[in-house]
Amino acid sequence: MYRSFTTLMALGMAAAAPFVPRQDAPRKLLIGTPAQIITADFNGASFTVTTKSHQPQTAPSWMIYREPNLVYAVNENGAEVNLFTLDENKANPTLVSTATGASGVVSLEFNEEKTRIVGASFGTGSYDIWDIQQDNSLKLLKNVEIPGPPAPGQETHRAHQALLDPSGRFFVIPNLGGDSIIVVDSESDSYAITNTVDVGAGSGPRHGDFVSLNGGSQATHYIVATENSNQLVLFALTYTGATIEFAEVQRLSTYGPAFPPKDPSTAAAGELVIANNGRDVYVSNRLSGNETDSIAHFALMADNTGSPALHFVDSVSSGGILPRMFSLGKDAQQEIVFVANQGGNTGVAALKRCPDTGSLTEEPLATLKMEDVIAEEFVGTPNVGPQFIQEI
């Protein structure tokens, strides 16, 4: 998008341009803040907010989109999952139905066939399985509590994310309260826990992602960002038939060697995303104590023994504080990273990503000011900005 924008600029400046190039359609974004679902357009150089849909008392801190116009949104402050439809401009969410499951759900994921949704409950340390086959509306199939005591010093298990593995059979759930990762088997609607991976005392695994370095449909590796120890943990995976086994390969600081947090006592790693190229790994570093927080970039590369390892590349400002979530654009080259900051002056930023190097440009292509994206009732309250952003 950035490239086509500069091309348009160059053509626009040439007075004798013989034709008007086609203007790419704007990208459509879904943004969640406490008490609001926001839709916005991004044209490569600026954002236009198309809807600020007030959802009082709710926190749509995670949403999943299904073509052509369906949005499933959690209410992190309650126990509902809400189904909305969007209009033809992917704006104006209309509430269709509401279903009640575990409280404090913070992540939703479809199964391969998009007949089920798994919801991870941070509040209760459990996960919900929803049947969405009938009218797309949500029918609770089961809720599974993570068994056993939580990790020492933790009140409860806390399921933080549900992520479908590339084979389409297993969901992997980082359990922040258990210092563990659980593997859930979707086969025959079992959704039973088939493996519990110890991530280490005091780690607090939060969000992760898969990578398949041999191009196969099974992931070869998984990387998780830990919120309490601010680490990236790289695991090599083995599919046994009944589950996925995890073997730890490497563990390193989410800040890399060059940019330590000003305040390590508050630092809390947030989102983790691996680019389509299987090389570039991004992690958001929150509450660093610095003027703004940051997104660090690591490269997953083979070392001289031939086994892959993570290497710190660089780090850029997120433009604000508490970048709870960021996501890569939908284009194949993933040339834009969209960032949601809960605090600071910049609520939303679009950063240019170089597809060749994977580096992000610090100066944003476009931003939305915090005051323009928070709900009216929260004016003057800190850290009530965007919690979620996704191109749809």
In the complex, which residues of this chain contact ligand NAG (CB under 6 A)? Answer: 259-260, 262, 290, 294, 315
Please give the Cα distance from 49 to 41 (Å, whole number).
6
Instruction: Produce one character per residue of 229-263: b if its CB has 16 or more CB atoms within 10 Å, e if not.
Output: bbbbbbbbbebeeebbebeeebbbbbbbeebbbee
Greatest alpha-carbon span in the chain = 73
**Min CB(339)–ligand NAG separation in Å:** 15
Between 5 and 259, name the residue whose CB sits nearer to ligand NAG: 259
CA 388 to chain centre: 7
Q: Is there a contact between 43 and 25 (Cβ–Cβ < 8 Å)?
A: no
Closer to ligand NAG by Cβ: residue 262 or 330 = 262
CB nearer to ligand NAG: pick between 219 and 267: 267
Q: Which is nearer to ligand NAG, 26 or 270 (CB)?
A: 270
Output the six-digit token pair for 112.
Answer: 């391969």
Task: Report the C-alpha gap between 323 and 184 in whole angstroms.
Answer: 28
- Give the dihedral of Cα atoms 375, 77, 274, 23; nearest 10 deg: -30
Residues 6+ apart with CB under 8 A from 6: none
Q: How far is the CB of 254 from ligand NAG (least distance, A)?
A: 12
Q: What is the nearest approach in angstroms of ligand NAG to the Cβ of residue 224?
A: 22
Q: Name the minimum Å distance from CB 252 to ligand NAG.
A: 17
Alpha-carbon Rg of the chain, whole angstroms? 20
Dihedral (Cα; 78, 83, 88, 91), 10-degree rounding: 0
In the bound state with ligand NAG, the residue whose beta carbon lies nearer, of 263 and 303, is 263
Between residues 54 and 262, which has the closer beta carbon with respect to ligand NAG? 262
Residue with smaller CB distance to ligand NAG, 227 or 293: 293
Q: What minimum distance in Å lies between the beta carbon of 277 and ligand NAG?
A: 25
Nearest distance, CB of residue 266 and ligand NAG, angstroms: 12
Both tokens of residue 378? 């929260």
- Closest separation in Å from C-beta 172 to ligand NAG: 30
Residue type, 116: R
For CA atoms 360, 361, 366, 372, give the dihedral sign: positive
Name the residue nearer to ligand NAG (CB basis): 139 or 262.
262
Shortest CB 253 distance to ligand NAG, Å = 12
For 359, the token pair is 């580096």
